Amino acid sequence: MSIVLGFDVYGTLVDPLGLEREMEPLFGDRRKAACATWRQKQLEYSFRRGLMRCYEDFDACTRRALLFAAKTFKVDLPDSAKRQLLADYLSLPAFPDVVPALETLKASGCKLLAFSNGIERSLRTLLGNAGVLSFFEGVVSVDDIKTFKPNPDVYAYLTSRGGHSRGETWLVSANPFDVIGAKAAHLRSAWVRRDSEAVFDPWEFEPDIVVSDLKGLASELRSWTSP
C-alpha cells in the first residue's frame, strides 16, 4: 500500500491514563480521576494555547496540567514527586494491539510516521520506552511549527513531511477532535474507537474508517487502496 499513515501518539499508541500505579502514593483511591483530570487539562491547555496564539510546548502543558490535578484533589506535590511523575509520563505503556498492528502495516509497504502534539525529543523517548519507535520512518511534531492540533497547518505539515498527496495521507487517531481536524484539512482518517461506548462528535466530518483497535486497520485500508 503506497500510503502514509500518521499515527497520533497519546491515546492511540500509548495510554495517557496508564499511570494509576505511579499516582497512587499521592492520590490514593482518587488516582483514576486524577489521571483523567491530568489528561483533560493537558488537552485543554493545548487547545487554548493554539487559539490564543500563545505557544508553549506540550511538555509545558503537561506539567501545568499535573499541577492543576494536584490542586483539584488538594494534594501537596513536592518538586521531587512532580519531577518523578513527569519522568514517568515518558514511559506510558503501549496498548497491546500496537506492536502486531505496526508490524503488519509496515510489512504491507505503508510509510509510518508518528504525529503528535508532543515535542520530538520527548516523543522519541516515549516511543522508545514503549518499544515502538523503530517502526516509524519519522517523528512529526507540531512543535516544529509552534501550534497544536487541530489547526489545519499541522495536517498540512504532516502531508509535506510524508511526501504524498492529501488523498494518500491518513491520520490514525483515537481522538475524535484529531480525526475531525484531519478531515477538515482534506486528509483521509481512521478513528480507533478504543472505548465501545465512545460517541463520535456529530459534526459534518466523519472518519473514513472506524476500527475497534489497530489490529483491524490493515484489512480496512486494503479495501480502500485496492484497485
- Name the residues annotated as catalytic: 8
DSSP 68: H
Q: What is the DSSP letter of 70?
A: H
- 8 A C-beta contact, residue 209 and residue 187: no
Q: Would you call the peptide bond into 150 cis, given omega within 30 degrees of 0 as the criterion?
A: yes
Q: What is the DSSP letter of 14?
A: B
**How do strand 138-141 and strand 169-173 relate by DSSP bridges?**
unpaired
How many other C-beta atoms are found inside a 10 Å radius of the C-beta of residue 101?
23
Task: Write the DSSP string, 72-127.
Answer: HTT----HHHHHHHHHHGGGPPBPTTHHHHHHHHHHTTPEEEEEESS-HHHHHHHH
